[in-house]
Amino acid sequence: MTAQRLSGKPVAEQIRARTTQLVENLKRDGFSAKIAVILATDNEATAWYVRSIERAASQQGVDPQVLRMPEATQEELVARILELNEDETVHGIILQTPLPQGVDPAALVQLINPAKDIDGANPLSLGRLTVGQPAFAPATARSVIEILEHYDIPLAGQHVAVVGRSAVVGKPLTQLLLQRDATVSICHSRTTNLAQFTKTAAVTVMAVGRANLLGGQDVSDSSVVIDVGTNVDEQGQLVGDVHAASVQPKVRALSPVPGGVGTVTTALLILHTVQAASKVCESIMWRGEPMTIGR
């Protein structure tokens, strides 16, 4: 038996189609969306990623604005975030990591207006998700859900093991799963006997950052496995947390690295931006005010 491949590509295509529809609606109302990315490093890999966001935004009719601020100070970054919060033409804000040395990321992300926090970086967004209020989840966590739903993997009443409990992936993903009535085990570095969770779960999500952490011996033939991890192996290749060679022949379905979650995240950032813009547009239309912002 070989596992069904839960590729991210058709999922991203479907998300882009949803975005296109929303962009059309905005256009009809004389409105457009803008995403702002603060890039405070000259790290080449990060710059490449930000260019891919710029490209994806432009292709979808969303205006990208990249604020290049290498070696920015805490004060300069604070000022820039506050400006973007106030700027009515900006609907989505990303504070791209890594940040310059000496800068405190936690103090910065909590300044991002939750209505524009399209990558769920502000802890308020996670808090809102936790109590069931509308909020943007981090794109990576949401990508896992989009993949599971695209391939009709049932979640209600199912046991899902989430391995990793970060504020970026594990915790928000847990909230999204609870919203869908899954029963969630949250595993981490202090979990004893990890395999007892991953073997009995209907769905296992690996979000750790350790190559080969999940092997064929840790899964069952009914498991659905979503790999979120990104690691570089000795050959310089991108690999996930799953030992694909032993897991793939054993499980029911596997979302691989590369080709899975990572393929979906950028499309979601653009969708979130357009959703944020649509909210602003709706509230203006509802008040019947002339549209002077966000064009």
Q: Which residues bind ligand NAP (CB under 6 A)?
A: 140, 163-166, 168-170, 187-191, 194, 207-210, 213, 228-231, 261-262, 265
SS3 percent helix, strand, coil of the chain, rounded to 5, is: 45, 15, 40
Taking the least distance from each CB to ligand NAP, the nearer of 65 and 191 is 191
Taking the least distance from each CB to ligand NAP, the nearer of 207 and 281 is 207
CB of 150 to ligand NAP, least distance (A): 16
Query: φ, ψ for residue 292 (rounded to 5)?
Result: -110, 0
Taking the least distance from each CB to ligand NAP, the nearer of 103 and 280 is 103
Taking the least distance from each CB to ligand NAP, the nearer of 78 and 195 is 195
CB of 124 to ligand NAP, least distance (A): 19
Q: What's at 145, amino acid-wise? A: I
The answer to whether 112 and 85 have CB atoms below 8 angstroms apart is yes
Strand segments (E) across the chain: 4-5, 34-39, 63-68, 92-96, 159-163, 183-187, 203-206, 224-227, 231-232, 238-239, 253-255
CB of 268 to ligand NAP, least distance (A): 10
CB of 166 to ligand NAP, least distance (A): 3
